[in-house]
Amino acid sequence: MTNSKLDRRLFMKGAGAATFMTGAAAIPATSAVAAGRGQMQMSTAYNLDEEFNRIGSGDFKWDMIRKANRPHDVPFPMGVADMDFRALPQITQALQKRLNHHNWGYEAPPADYKQNIVDWNKARYNEDINPDAMVNCLGVLDGVTSALVTWCDPGDKVILHTPNYSSFFSVIPGSLCELAESPMILNDDGTYEFDYADTERLLQEGAKAIVLCNPQNPTGNCWTADQLRRLGDLANQYGALVLADEIHCDFVNKHATYVPYASLGEEYAMNSVTQKSASKSFNLAAHRTAYMYSKNKDLIDRIIRDGIHHRGLMHTMGTIACNAAYKHGAQYMDDMQAYIDGNCHYLESFAAENFPLIDYKTHEGTYLAWLDCRKLAEEFGEPEGDTRIGDVMKQFFIEKAGVNINPGENYGITGAGFMRMNLGTTRHKLKGALNAMKAAMDAL
């Protein structure tokens, strides 16, 4: 097996002492950043400034987006929600060791697989998970589907507070349920709030489940305990199950706190199922491994017995990668959180000084920035026919800046005029994208 110290040196290749001090060399001297508001404490263990080339690997973010937009060049693909950093070395080592075995028969996950998941959530969030009430999933969406099919009858309404993750708009109907979209309330400070009155209306109309995104994709909200309890009280009152997608929980900026829904108390934990995965935290989406759990073991047993959970099939390489991540990745995750926090603050400072048509304030969770582009949208006027204003702005940034970001309408009826931008990349790439966007908008 590759020597771990050697592999760590390769990860840090080219990273001199200056790289790990303040990151000032990587940040243009705009006045707000120079004043310190856009700076961060750089990684002390991993060189996240390394320019890691992903082109040619066949991934969605770089190869597919660039191919789909030819003849336009897209040097800054910042839509697909994965990251551009080199993987944790211990993940690669564990996968390589298994590859060298040269046999692929039936196989159980690593012996300490579930325990490392339990330990990770306990150490970081003081959350107690019963390993006997935890089930593997091929992905968070697969877990949501299994729970919905178990809990709901065909045609039942499922509440989705929007803007929300775009794939839920197909997963809920794909589970033979009716999607009940509940627009959230946008506060003056750029955060969102549940519309509790509208939620109760939908529950009174017979909604049987609520899909909760916590932290919220794409808005970046980290819901407080009070907000979650108020939502949970409504769910409990009307007998609706809460499905908590908490896949982004490891990405929380320094001013915010992630509250696991199942940690609120017995009555909330018993009426909920939580879905998580290392795929966001450690960029393992290609490995198709996630997990779900509940305090209510009878409910988990029902999902396995009565749902469509495919016997909780395990992806061998995925469980190996996930296990290595949770076992060895605490420092890597800490460094990643600090780096993303710095990217968020840098974007906020840059936008305040250079984007008169775009508003952004450092969000609370995820590595996805929710850009308020409503003033920019006014510059283009009303789009023709069925064209969405988000598609117009997306094409503008592709053609004029080589930047791919996602239309807000992908995330619900309240997303018009907003765009989602992935900040899970190096400061160098972020700087290049923002400068290109500035030049494009300055030329309007």
Question: Is residue 186 helix, strand or coil?
Answer: strand
Q: How far apart are CA 240 and CA 226, in angstroms?
A: 19
- Alpha-helical runs (H) found in 40-156: 65-68, 89-99, 113-125, 140-151
Q: What percent of the chain is predicted at pLDDT more than 70?
A: 88
Phi and psi torsions of 242, nearest 5°: -100, 125
Residue-wise pLDDT tens digits, 121-143:
999 999 999 999 999 998 999 99
Does 265 score more than 80 pLDDT? yes
* Residue 335 amino acid letter: D
The secondary structure of 214-227, three-state, reads: CCCCCCCCCCCHHH
CA of residue 313 relative to chain centroid, distance: 24
Q: How far apart are CA 283 and CA 46, in angstroms?
A: 15
Please give the pLDDT value at position 313.
65
Whether residue 13 contacts residue 50, with contact meaning beta carbons closer than 8 Å, is answered with yes
Does 443 score more than 70 pLDDT? yes
Burial class (CB in 10 A: 0-12, 13-18, 19+), 10: exposed
What is the number of alpha carbons within 13 Å of residue 349 lying toward its C-beta?
Answer: 22
Please give the pLDDT value at position 9.
40
- Alpha-helical runs (H) found in 60-112: 65-68, 89-99
Can you count the helices (H) and strands (E) in the chain?
Answer: 17, 14
**Higher pLDDT, residue 428 or 31:** 428
Residue-wise pLDDT tens digits, 365-374:
999 999 999 9
* Over residues 210-229, mean pLDDT: 98
Residue-wise pLDDT tens digits, 33-90:
333 333 334 445 788 888 878 777 777 677 677 777 788 888 999 998 889 999 999 9
Q: Which fold has domain 4-86+330-442?
A: Aspartate Aminotransferase, domain 1 (3.90.1150)
Please give the pLDDT value at position 41.
45
Please give the pLDDT value at position 44.
56
Nearest partner of 295 among 244, 223, 225, 221, judged by Cα? 244
Q: How far apart are CA 316 and CA 107, in angstroms?
A: 7
The correct answer on CATH 3.40.710.10 for the domain covering 103-328 is no
Please give the pLDDT value at position 308.
67
CA torsion, ordered 332, 334, 337, 343, to nearest 10 deg: -80
Please give the pLDDT value at position 64.
74
CA of residue 189 relative to chain centroid, distance: 22
Please give the pLDDT value at position 38.
34
Residue-wise pLDDT tens digits, 408-423:
999 998 999 999 999 9
Domain boundary assignment for the chain = 4-86+330-442, 103-328
* Over residues 331-348, mean pLDDT: 96
Residue-wise pLDDT tens digits, 288-316:
899 999 999 999 999 988 766 655 567 89
Please give the pLDDT value at position 151.
96
Please give the pLDDT value at position 60.
67
The per-residue pLDDT of the chain, averaged, comes to 88
